[in-house]
């Protein structure tokens, strides 16, 4: 049920002609309240798309009544004119929503905007704005799945989730199949809840959740200009969870969506969990996991079903984490091919024929642990990304 | 003429059976003096192969009379037994050289050792040590090209160079086609000179040269466990160049070899120069160039002849360099496709059909510049590296 699983939300996904071929490309999520709480986390890339800069401002106020999202164009690296396009989209959405239902009384500052697609090109506003009006007419209590479909780019399947509290729930949708790397490993994600929760509580829950989910997906090491994760609260359930309860439900939703992103990553033939244990602290564990996740020689070896632990150790060695190179153990799918920094069990025992791969690295330097999720580097990844914009 | 171009050196390359198929795999370079100066730079990977750890100790003394190199096995991640193998190789080489020519009187500490090949497996010492004896018998004043051939792994061509001073010269050989990344972008390189130059002068010249050559090649972002660059001086010319002269000749030799490495990088279809200008300082320029060089989405776009400058900007945005995202210009093969962080000249004007590509990034933040050399990410890279160890 996506973002419309919790009470108080309507959504829609329609075709505005931004994508060729008639696929849906404009999504709208409206929070009917009674509350309109919001929190957001955004890309840490210093080259931020116009909608990111706009939505960061909007979210700062703690109130958002609608989110308009488009695929078919990222509106990144488009200069002042691109920012103006985002602003116009928010204004137009606010005015049209108010006209459709005067009790809403929205201004541009109540509308978050998200865009995804090719970087460096202006959006065709003559198509986008009519699309927004079409989306408003299509808004429905069960419109969540349609919205999830409209934000897809190279995704092969829509990604939605629901996680339930006691008397309230969290719903969500996400898109992202490339440029998946930290500082948020998705392009766009909208989460909704009918819990009663103000902006501060939403922010605490969202940051705690993304830190251990989206931020630990590193599919291709490339950080997007458009990453946005929003969490909206309607308060429609009347139930006020505590921070731990809300964090648990939001984390479950983010974890589910993050796994769906890794599962659908461009061209991937493997879904890889890199479990780093025995680290001196969590930052070390994350650094080591990320270094292995980003190593093209490790990734191509996995594509070739090759348990090449020497490449894994070489990647670990590039980090500043605390460890003794002569004390590191590495297991691939449960076989400890490396003990004490040297060959151990026979690598031929490792079965890499399945899609799921687990690499476990024990640094023997402490008690901290972290898992990073990644993919292999395949012919299909090269093919898809060498042909994307042309 | 490789490492035997300068006077005072002999070399050989022979087949010891470390590689399947009978290709040569053991190289030996002997410095007949009168001097025996040495300097070295090594991988900064914390997981260092046994020969790197050995040779770092040897070089510290400032004297090396012979370098023995093998392909067919990296002797990395092989534990104390692997280090023992390196030590035994040095001892055996020293003893056999002394036996062959008693005036040499070598100890193990006079012999540098370099290895390259698969990580994580012990070397077959029963083949390597007889191979060393064969190499000693094959030593010749014109043996440089044979030595250069014997250190190849996935290289398709041997890499050699000569640069000349007044009355003296620098010769060199290198191997490396993958795991090409900073903290030295080669696996193995031996440079020789018949100039009169002590260890301190050699060290200053070598560090200055590698900093702007090998350290600026970043073909695949993967740092090796075995990188070693050695510079040996025989003094046989009797000419004593000053630091500037020696640095210029060594830099020319390193630059030539570095370009040969990029030209022969695994599976590459493009040879890419990323020229970063207008940087606040050189470190910023290098950081930006490296970030673009390592971005898989930029690299796959280049493979697809796609001047996708948005991906270039997204890569620049992940750095901590000083720049204003709205002031960055990007040219691809001379066409300024991005000005002020937004689209400028028509991308269709960019001709990417040739092998050489130049990406110029003007940060408009200062007067410093640096060039990083890299390659595209191709189907052949994925193929070659998914099948290497199996």
- Please give the full DSSP string across B236-275, using - where no structure is assigned: TT-----HHHHHHHHHHHHHHHHHHHHHT-TT-S-EEEEE
pLDDT at A125 over 60: yes
B34: cis peptide before it, omega within 30°? yes
* HSE, side-chain direction, 13 A CA sphere, residue B362: 13
Mutation site, B266, B292, B314, interface A, largest A CB count within 10 A: B314
**Which residues fall within 8 angstroms of residue B380, CB to CB, at 6 or more apart?**
B266, B267, B268, B269
Task: Name the pLDDT band for B178 (thresholds 50, 70, 90).
Answer: low
Strand partners for A180:
none
Which of B76, B120, B297 has its CB closest to that of A179?
A: B297
Q: Is A385 annotated as a binding residue?
A: yes
**Do the Cβ atoms of A119 and B315 come within 8 Å?**
no
Task: Name the pLDDT band for A216 (thresholds 50, 70, 90).
Answer: confident
pLDDT at A186 over 60: no
* Best CA proximity match to B108, nearest among B63, B147, B49: B63
CA–CA separation, A350 and B42 (whole Å): 33
More confident: B82 or A218: B82
pLDDT at A306 over 80: yes
Mean pLDDT throughout B372-380?
A: 89
Average pLDDT, chain A: 92
Over the stretch A363-383, which tens digit does the pLDDT of each residue have? 999 999 999 999 998 888 888
The helix-helix angle for A50-60 and A79-100 (nearest 10°) equals 50
Q: How many CB atoms lie within 10 A of CB B368?
A: 17
**Do the Cβ atoms of B314 and A220 come within 8 Å?**
no
Strands (E), chain A: 9-14, 26-31, 37-42, 66-70, 111-115, 159-164, 169-175, 188-193, 228-233, 271-279, 329-332, 335-339, 342-343, 356-362, 368-375
Give yes or no for B346 touching A (CB within 8 A).
Answer: no
- A74 CB neighbours in chain B (<8 A) are 310
Residue A237 in tokens: 């359930």
Mean pLDDT throughout B96-109?
A: 91
A77: cis peptide before it, omega within 30°? no
Q: What pLDDT does A265 receive?
A: 83
CA–CA separation, A325 and A312 (whole Å): 12
CA–CA separation, B370 and B373 (whole Å): 10
**Do the Cβ atoms of B119 and A313 come within 8 Å?**
yes
Q: How far is B170 from chain A (nearest CA, A)?
A: 31
Over the stretch B307-318, which tens digit does the pLDDT of each residue have? 999 889 989 988
* Best CA proximity match to B135, nearest among B36, B187, B192, B67: B67
**Do the Cβ atoms of B314 and A221 come within 8 Å?**
no
More confident: A389 or B284: B284
Name the least confident of A177-186, B4-13, B220-229, B375-384.
Answer: A177-186
pLDDT at A70 over 80: yes
The helix-helix angle for A379-386 and B379-386 (nearest 10°) equals 170
**Do the Cβ atoms of B223 and A319 come within 8 Å?**
no
Mean pLDDT throughout B309-335?
A: 93
Q: Is A299 annotated as a binding residue?
A: no
Name the DSSP class of B228.
Answer: E
Strands (E), chain B: 9-14, 26-31, 37-42, 66-70, 111-115, 159-164, 169-175, 188-193, 228-233, 271-279, 329-332, 335-339, 342-343, 356-362, 368-375
Q: What pLDDT does B174 receive?
A: 93
Mean pLDDT throughout B84-108?
A: 94
**Which residues fall within 8 angstroms of residue A204, CB to CB, at 6 or more apart?**
A243, A247
pLDDT at A1 over 60: yes
Q: What pLDDT does B179 receive?
A: 58
Phi first, then psi: what are they for B192, rounded to 5°? -130, 150
pLDDT at A56 over 90: yes
* Best CA proximity match to B160, nearest among B266, B260, B41, B23: B260
Q: What pLDDT does B185 receive?
A: 47
Among A186, A192, A193, A374, which one carries the catalytic annotation? A186
**Which residues fall within 8 angstroms of residue A242, CB to CB, at 6 or more apart?**
none
Q: Is A349 annotated as a binding residue?
A: no
- A363 CB neighbours in chain B (<8 A) are none
List the 57-116 stretch of A: residues with Cβ below 8 A of B.
Answer: 74, 76-79, 81-82
- A390 CB neighbours in chain B (<8 A) are 304-306
CATH homologous superfamily for the domain B271-386: ArgJ beta chain, C-terminal domain (3.10.20.340)
CA–CA separation, A179 and B341 (whole Å): 19
Name the least confident of A77-81, A189-193, B79-83, B182-186.
Answer: B182-186
What's the start-to-end Cα distance of chain B, in Å? Answer: 35
Task: Name the pLDDT band for B219 (thresholds 50, 70, 90).
Answer: confident
Residue A236 in tokens: 């429609």
Quickly tell me which residue has 């096995």 as its tokens. Answer: B73
* Best CA proximity match to A298, nearest among B344, B215, B388: B388
Give yes or no for B197 touching A (CB within 8 A).
Answer: no
CA–CA separation, B362 and A315 (whole Å): 31
Mean pLDDT throughout A81-100?
A: 97
CA–CA separation, B150 and B93 (whole Å): 17
Name the DSSP class of A341.
Answer: T
User: Do the first three CATH levels of A2-263 and A271-386 match, i.e. the same topology?
Assistant: no
Q: What pLDDT does B389 receive?
A: 55
Instruction: Parse chain A into domains and list their residue ranges.
Output: 2-263, 271-386
pLDDT at A390 over 50: no
Mean pLDDT throughout B148-175?
A: 94
**Which residues fall within 8 angstroms of residue B102, CB to CB, at 6 or more apart?**
none
| Residues A271, A356 contacting (CB under 8 angstroms) | yes
Task: Name the pLDDT band for A181 (thresholds 50, 70, 90).
Answer: low
Residue A310: closest CA among chain B residues belongs to which residue?
A: B119
pLDDT at A225 over 70: yes
Among B161, B186, B210, B225, which one carries the catalytic annotation? B186
**Do the Cβ atoms of B318 and A223 come within 8 Å?**
yes
Q: What class does CATH assign to A2-263?
A: alpha beta
Mutation site, A84, A225, A300, interface B, largest B CB count within 10 A: A300
Residue B348: closest CA among chain A residues belongs to which residue?
A: A390
Quickly tell me which residue has 């776009």 as its tokens. Answer: B301
CA–CA separation, B55 and B64 (whole Å): 10
Name the DSSP class of B46.
Answer: S
Strand partners for B358:
B273
Could you give the residue ranges of the DSSP H alpha helices within A264-378? 282-293, 296-303, 309-316
Residue A106 in tokens: 């929205």
Q: How many CB atoms lie within 10 A of CB B270?
A: 20
CA dihedral B76→B78→B82→B86, nearest 10 degrees, is: 0
Q: How far is B52 from chain A (nearest CA, A)?
A: 14
Q: What is the ipTM of this complex?
A: 0.83
Residue A119: closest CA among chain B residues belongs to which residue?
A: B310
Strands B9-14 and B26-31: antiparallel
pLDDT at B45 over 80: yes
- A379 CB neighbours in chain B (<8 A) are 379, 382-383
CA–CA separation, B97 and B132 (whole Å): 9
Q: How far is A306 from chain B (nearest CA, A)?
A: 7
Q: What pLDDT does B53 receive?
A: 95
Over the stretch A191-208, which tens digit does the pLDDT of each residue have? 999 999 999 999 999 999
More confident: A378 or A171: A171
Over the stretch B128-139, which tens digit does the pLDDT of each residue have? 999 999 999 999
Q: What pLDDT does A98 receive?
A: 96
List the 298-327 stretch of A: residues with Cβ below 8 A of B.
Answer: 300-301, 303-306, 308-311, 313-319, 323, 325-326
Residue B43 among the catalytic residues: no
Name the least confident of A90-104, A157-171, A176-190, B179-193.
Answer: A176-190
Q: Is B156 annotated as a binding residue?
A: no
| Residues B55, B113 contacting (CB under 8 angstroms) | yes
CA–CA separation, B213 and B222 (whole Å): 17
Q: Is B390 annotated as a binding residue?
A: yes
Mean pLDDT throughout A119-138?
A: 96
CA–CA separation, A310 and B120 (whole Å): 5
Strand partners for A134:
none
**Which residues fall within 8 angstroms of residue B312, CB to CB, at 6 or more apart?**
B292, B295, B298, B330, B338, B359, B361
Strands A159-164 and A335-339: unpaired
- A317 CB neighbours in chain B (<8 A) are 45-48, 223, 225
């Amino acid at each position: 049920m996506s973002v419309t699983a919790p009470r108080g939300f309507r959504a829609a996904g329609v075709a505005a002609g931004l994508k060729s071929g008639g696929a849906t490309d404009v999504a709208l999520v409206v929070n009917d309240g009674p509350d309109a709480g919001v929190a957001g986390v955004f890309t840490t890339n210093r080259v931020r798309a116009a909608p990111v800069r706009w939505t960061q401002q909007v979210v700062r106020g703690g109130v958002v009544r609608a989110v308009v999202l488009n695929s078919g164009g990222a509106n990144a690296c488009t200069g002042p004119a691109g920012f103006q396009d985002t602003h116009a989209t928010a204004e137009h959405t606010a005015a049209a929503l108010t006209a459709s239902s005067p009790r809403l009384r929205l201004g541009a500052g109540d509308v978050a905007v998200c865009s995804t697609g090719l970087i460096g090109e202006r959006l065709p506003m003559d198509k986008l704005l009519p699309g927004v009006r079409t989306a408003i007419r299509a808004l429905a209590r069960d419109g969540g799945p349609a919205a999830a479909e409209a934000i897809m780019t190279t995704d092969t399947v829509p990604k939605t989730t629901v996680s339930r509290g006691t008397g309230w729930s969290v719903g969500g949708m996400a898109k992202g199949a490339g440029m998946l790397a930290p500082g948020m490993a998705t392009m766009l994600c909208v989460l909704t809840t009918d819990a009663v929760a103000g902006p501060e509580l939403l922010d605490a829950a969202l940051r705690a959740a993304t830190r251990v989910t989206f931020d630990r997906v590193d599919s291709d090491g490339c950080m997007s200009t458009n990453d946005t994760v929003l969490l909206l609260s309607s308060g429609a359930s009347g139930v006020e969870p505590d921070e731990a309860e809300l964090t648990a439900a939001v984390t479950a939703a983010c974890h589910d969506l993050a796994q769906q992103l890794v599962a659908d990553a461009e061209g991937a033939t493997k879904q890889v969990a890199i479990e780093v244990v025995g680290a001196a602290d969590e930052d070390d564990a994350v650094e080591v996991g990320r270094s292995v996740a980003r190593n093209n020689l490790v990734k191509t070896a996995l594509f070739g079903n090759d348990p090449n632990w020497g490449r894994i150790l070489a990647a670990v060695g590039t980090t500043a984490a605390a460890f003794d190179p002569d004390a590191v153990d590495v297991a691939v799918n449960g076989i400890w091919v490396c003990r004490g920094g040297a060959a151990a069990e026979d690598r031929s025992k490792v079965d890499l024929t399945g899609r799921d791969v687990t690499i476990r690295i024990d640094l023997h330097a402490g008690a901290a642990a972290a898992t990073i999720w990644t993919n292999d580097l395949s012919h299909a990844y090269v093919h898809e990304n060498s042909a994307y914009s042309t």
